[in-house]
C-alpha cells in the first residue's frame, strides 16, 4: 500500500503478499464457522415459543432463532467467493462439515463451503457519495482479502411474525405512513372479534417502522459478531485488519452478482401519489435496483422470502413454514443434525403455527408488499453495512511512524521480522 500525502506519507517497498488459504480459512471460521449443533434447550410446551427456532447447526456468531441471517462473502485477488450457510447443504451433509471443524481442519471446511462467484475481485466505485474518503486509499488493495457480511431481513421478519401473531402474544401492527390505520389486519383485532390486541393502551400495538427497525437491529448485531471475530483472529494470526463502510442499497449486491429487479425510486421510498407526481414532474425519479437473491452455476444460494421468488407473499409465507416444518426442514431433520438422545421424540415437539397466526401473517405481509411494492417496506430484502479488510503487515511503516509496541511479536513474526526494529526513521523506509 501507499499513502500519498500527509504526515504518514509512505510507499511500501514490499510486493503485495496475498493471504494464504490457511489464513483465510482461519478468518472465515472466526467470522462464520460452524461450531457443532444448537442444543435447542428451550421450552416446548403450548405457547412457550420453542417453535421459533429455525436451525440446528450452530455457528460462531449468535443468530436470532438460529436463522443464520448473515451470509459471508470473501473477495481477494483470485476472485469472489460465497461461503455456504448450513441451509445451503442437505441436512444429511451438514455433519461432514461439522466434523471437519471439530477436528480443526479449517482449510478443508473452507474449501468445502466456498463457492466461486467470479474469477475477479468484486468492487464498487469509491468516489464521494458511494464511500467515505477515509476508505478510498486502501479499499481493495492488492494482496488484501475483503470480507463482506450480507444479511437477509425477510426470514427473521416472517419467523417473528408467525410467533407475534399467535394468540399468546397477539401483537397488532399499524401503518404510520397511512394515518396509523391497521396494516392489513383490521379483521384480526379483538375489537372486531379477532385474536390480536388492537387497543393501543394495552402495550401490544406496533408500527411497521418500529417492527422493521427491530429486525434490522437484530441482524446488525449478527454482522457485528462477524466483524468482531475477524478482528480477533487477525490479531491472533499476526495480520493487519480494519472495518470500513459498506452501507449501500444495492451497489455491493450488484457487484456480487445478485438478481436485481427495478422499481421507481418514489415507490422504493414509499412516497404517496401526490409526492410521487411532484417528483416525476421535476424529473427527479429514477429506477432503483432491488436485490432478491443469488445464483451461481445453476444453484440458488440465497433467496429472499418474497416475490419475484414467489407468486405472492402468501406463497412465500407458506414456503417458509414448510422450510421449517416440512420434509427436510429444520425440525424433521433434527435427527441427523442434533445432539439429542431421542431425536424422534424431540423433533416432533415443535409445532407449526396455528391457523390464526398463519392467516394474520399472510394478511400483513401481503399488505406490506402490495402497498410498498417490496418486503420489507423500509429496506431492501438484503443489506450490507460494514466490511472487513485483512492483509499482511508492512512492519517498516509502523517502525518508522509508531512506537515499538504498536506491533505485537506475532505481527512481527508474521511479517518475517524478529528482535528490535531496524532503524528506518532516517528514511530507509521510503519506497521507490
pLDDT score for 422: 47
Cα(266)–Cα(259) distance, integer angstroms: 21
For residue 189, give the nearest of 172, 201, 202 by alpha carbon: 172
What pLDDT sits at residue 378?
94
DSSP-H helix ranges across 264-354: 265-268, 273-281, 313-325, 343-346
Residue appearing with cell numbers 461432514: 96
Rounded (5°) CA angle 135-136-141: 95
User: Which pLDDT belongs to residue 417?
Assistant: 57
pLDDT, one tens digit per residue, over 354-413 is: 999 999 999 999 999 999 999 999 999 999 999 999 999 999 999 999 998 999 999 998
- According to the model, what pLDDT value does residue 273 have? 86
| Lookup result for grid cell 390505520 | 181
DSSP E strand boundaries for 208-319? 240-245, 259-264, 287-296, 299-303
Alpha helices in 78-125 (DSSP H): 94-102, 106-113
Length in residues, the chain: 432
Cα 96 to Cα 86: distance, rounded to the nearest angstrom? 11
**Conformational region of residue 15, where left means phi above 0, alpha means psi within -120 to 50, and beta covers everything else:** beta
Angstrom distances, CA of residue 53 to CA of 15, 170, 382? 48, 19, 21
Cα–Cα dist 105/233, whole Å: 16
Parallel, antiparallel, or unpaired for β 205-207 and 172-175?
parallel
pLDDT, residue 131, reads: 80
State which residues of the chain have pLDDT below 70. 334-335, 347, 417-432
Instruction: Describe the strand order of the beta sheet including 181-182 as a list of residue ranges.
Output: 181-182, 172-175, 205-207
Using alpha carbons, select from 193, 374, 110 the residue that is nearest to residue 267: 374
Query: C-alpha angle 71/249/18, rounded to 5°?
Result: 50
Q: Which three cell numbers stand for residue 40?
A: 435447542
Give dist(CA 213, CA 207) in Å, integer. Answer: 10
Distance linking the first and last C-alpha atoms of the chain: 12
Residue 158, pLDDT score: 98
The pLDDT value recorded for residue 326 is 83
Please give the backbone phi and psi of residue 296, each rounded to the nearest 5 degrees, phi first: -155, 130
Amino acid at each position: 500500500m501507499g499513502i500519498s500525502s500527509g504526515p504518514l506519507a509512505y510507499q511500501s517497498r514490499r510486493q503485495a503478499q496475498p493471504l494464504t488459504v490457511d489464513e483465510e480459512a482461519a478468518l472465515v471460521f472466526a467470522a462464520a464457522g460452524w461450531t457443532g449443533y444448537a442444543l435447542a434447550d428451550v421450552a416446548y410446551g403450548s405457547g412457550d415459543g420453542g417453535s421459533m427456532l429455525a436451525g440446528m447447526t450452530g455457528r460462531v456468531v449468535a443468530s436470532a432463532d438460529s436463522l443464520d441471517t448473515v451470509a459471508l462473502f470473501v473477495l481477494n485477488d483470485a476472485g469472489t467467493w460465497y461461503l455456504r450457510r448450513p441451509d445451503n447443504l442437505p441436512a444429511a451433509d451438514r455433519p461432514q462439515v461439522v466434523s471437519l471443524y471439530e477436528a480443526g481442519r479449517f482449510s478443508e471446511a473452507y474449501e468445502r463451503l466456498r463457492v466461486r462467484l467470479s474469477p475477479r475481485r468484486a468492487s464498487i466505485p469509491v468516489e464521494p457519495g458511494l464511500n467515505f474518503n477515509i476508505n478510498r486509499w486502501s479499499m481493495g488493495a492488492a494482496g488484501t482479502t475483503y470480507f463482506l457480511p450480507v444479511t437477509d431481513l425477510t426470514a427473521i421478519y416472517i419467523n417473528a411474525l408467525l410467533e407475534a401473531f399467535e394468540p399468546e402474544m397477539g401483537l397488532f401492527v399499524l401503518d404510520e405512513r397511512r394515518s396509523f390505520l391497521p396494516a392489513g389486519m383490521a379483521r384480526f383485532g379483538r375489537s372486531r372479534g379477532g385474536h390480536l390486541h388492537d387497543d393501543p393502551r394495552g402495550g401490544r400495538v406496533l408500527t411497521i417502522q418500529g417492527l422493521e427497525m427491530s429486525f434490522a437491529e437484530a441482524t446488525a448485531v449478527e454482522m457485528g459478531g462477524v466483524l468482531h471475530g475477524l478482528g480477533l483472529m487477525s490479531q491472533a494470526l499476526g495480520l493487519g485488519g480494519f472495518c470500513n463502510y459498506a452501507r449501500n442499497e444495492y451497489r455491493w449486491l450488484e457487484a456480487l452478482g445478485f438478481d436485481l429487479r427495478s422499481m421507481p425510486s418514489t415507490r422504493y421510498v414509499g412516497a404517496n401519489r401526490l409526492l410521487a407526481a411532484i417528483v416525476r414532474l421535476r424529473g427527479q425519479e429514477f429506477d432503483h435496483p432491488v436485490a432478491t437473491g443469488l445464483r451461481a452455476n445453476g444453484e440458488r444460494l440465497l433467496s429472499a422470502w418474497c416475490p419475484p421468488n414467489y407468486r405472492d407473499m402468501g406463497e412465500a409465507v407458506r414456503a417458509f413454514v414448510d422450510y421449517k416444518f416440512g420434509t427436510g426442514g429444520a425440525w424433521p431433520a433434527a435427527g441427523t443434525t442434533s445432539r439429542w438422545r431421542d431425536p424422534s421424540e424431540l423433533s416432533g415437539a415443535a409445532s407449526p403455527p396455528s391457523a390464526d397466526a398463519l392467516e394474520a401473517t399472510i394478511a400483513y405481509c401481503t399488505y406490506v408488499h402490495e402497498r410498498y411494492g417490496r418486503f420489507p417496506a423500509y429496506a431492501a430484502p438484503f443489506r450490507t453495512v460494514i466490511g472487513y479488510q485483512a492483509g499482511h503487515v508492512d512492519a517498516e511503516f509502523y517502525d518508522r511512524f509508531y512506537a515499538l509496541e504498536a506491533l505485537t511479536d506475532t505481527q512481527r513474526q508474521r511479517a518475517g521480522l524478529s528482535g528490535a526494529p531496524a532503524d528506518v526513521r532516517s528514511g530507509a523506509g521510503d519506497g521507490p
